[in-house]
Chain A
């Protein structure tokens, strides 16, 4: 390594450093400061004490996002595996189709799901044509609808990292496994699955983290009955008087996310080698 390249490194990193300070570190400091500031302006834990009112929202967010993550994994892994077995051409088309919904704004997608699931919506309209006017499948404004919204919105984030890892596994390893006596199913469980753990960990993290902090989905698909922590934070920041409570909620949520990410990464032996699989 020459002196030149070593000297160039801080310069190359400068734009990112400025970005990180302005948009990541400074806001975090603001959040921390606000969350420990009492009504009188001094240091206080009262905001955290007030969070007791939001226990339900925390528990609900955690459980809904957990369920959504599990469903995404159950749908996403086989989907990613199936795609990775196709010809390269077909793989490109299928991955494009997985990503296509991400090109549409999140709010519009959620609105569209609402229109589909409504009692007078597209699905019920179709079912009524088949089973008669009196038929009604109530879906909207239920926890199921909220979880469905999460799964729909975040499924691509599960499929893509798993697919990326699967498509990079040397096909010779599958042949070696077959050669040593593995049936196709045994190859999947003894070779493919263990080698795709890093993709699964990324997928779980990338679905769970946005799901637990999501807002809007519950407002539209849950009819406002199922307060999630993301919505509570949004409401808190809507009025200056509750800024501090909002900040405290953000901080607690962040700690929950960090702990769960840490636990997940324990399952991924490769993560010590650096780099994030996305």
Chain B
């Protein structure tokens, strides 16, 4: 990855049937970067990808590729290739011909096609599958053919639309490693779309978190996880306790009825803020040394750790610990200054409650007066 911009999205907006799916997106994508668009379904990540591929024309804004505006360039004239969600392999062609498809179009000599298809089959570990019918392949094998078919054209950018979504967990992990290897081996810019935060964190150079048609945060995986910019990012990436707080002054924040030292500054005095504390960053200490005390309400054994839900002042905290506790135990907790992340209030403030339930959907399900969310 270097700092040379390859693709620039400038104030991109798009609506379908009056529903706005993208609101003024600005994004720079650099050469040789592995960038992931991460967000829940309906956040606009796939639409963004399709705009770059050329299948969707934005209502407003510019798509700049290598310094040139390409809004009106049809997909077949763009130097990008796509790996589709359900592969979209051509059922009337065998593995060899599927991969050779792009080269046949550009009237490449047969000899060269043969060399390059073999090269691609080696890259995706499918040597010997040349003559196979694509419908006879497993999901993982079809996936590899789709990648080879897209990469053989030597695009400057490879677009991947939830390519691992249909694979089982272990295979998905292997493919994550392989995709990363292929990206580094070929030096091609990868733009990857997923709703799986773990996938995004483990593969990417840069993660772009999206929600409601807007970019919430752009950053390295570490930055996104450790320093989320708003409650949405904090909630979507990993587990997090998000509390209402007040930034009393620089390096001092109050929440849960206590005042804490933190490492954040630059807020107005007494500005209302959202505070994030990750479950694994909380220390359980004897009650007499505790900053906060509460009662354990639930314990789940997770293998290498226990996940505890503790009621502290009617807020259900999630805490991860290696020590065993039982429901009903009283515990004390301590939080180090560098484990506290203070965020500006946003449209998402208050949307993510405590750990009374794990999902918002569960709240909706048990609320007889609530409307169905979709």
Contact = CB atoms under 8 A, between A and B. Distances in A.
Interface string B21-37: 00000000000000000
B94 to A, nearest CB: 12
B90 A173 contact: yes
A173 B75 CA distance: 13
A191 B75 contact: no
A269 B76 CA distance: 29
Contacts of B149: 180
Given A175-B55, A176-B82, A182 B88 contact: no
A173 B105 contact: no
A170 B92 contact: no
A162 B88 CA distance: 21
Nearest to B102: A180
Interface in B26-80: 53-55, 74-76, 80
A181 B84 contact: no
B84 A178 contact: no
B138 interface: no
B81 interface: yes
Contacts of A178: 54-55, 74-76
Nearest to B86: A172
Given A172-B84, A172-B86, A175-B55, A181 B153 contact: yes
A273 to B, nearest CB: 10
A181 B76 contact: yes
A183 B90 contact: no
A177 B75 CA distance: 9
Interface in B84-132: 84, 86, 88-92, 101-102, 105-106
Nearest to B82: A179
Contact of B90 (A186, A191, A269): A191
Contacts of B92: 191, 194-195, 269
Interface in B174-216: none
B90 A175 contact: no
Interface in A242-278: 269
A179 B53 contact: yes
Interface string A186-201: 1000110011000000
A179 B76 contact: yes
B112 to A, nearest CB: 16
Most buried by A among B76, B82, B91: B76
A194 B75 CA distance: 22
Interface string B139-150: 000000000011
Interface string B213-251: 000000000000000000000000000000000000000
A180 B105 contact: yes
Interface of B: 53-55, 74-76, 80-82, 84, 86, 88-92, 101-102, 105-106, 149-150, 153
Given A173-B90, A269-B92, 16 more contacts: A172-B88, A175-B75, A178-B54, A178-B74, A178-B76, A179-B75, A179-B80, A180-B76, A180-B102, A181-B105, A181-B106, A183-B74, A186-B76, A191-B92, A195-B90, A195-B92
29 contacts: A172-B84, A172-B88, A173-B88, A175-B82, A176-B82, A176-B88, A176-B89, A178-B74, A179-B75, A179-B76, A179-B80, A179-B81, A179-B82, A179-B150, A180-B76, A180-B81, A180-B101, A180-B102, A180-B105, A180-B149, A180-B153, A181-B106, A182-B76, A182-B105, A190-B105, A191-B90, A191-B92, A195-B90, A195-B91
Interface of A: 170, 172-173, 175-183, 186, 190-191, 194-195, 269
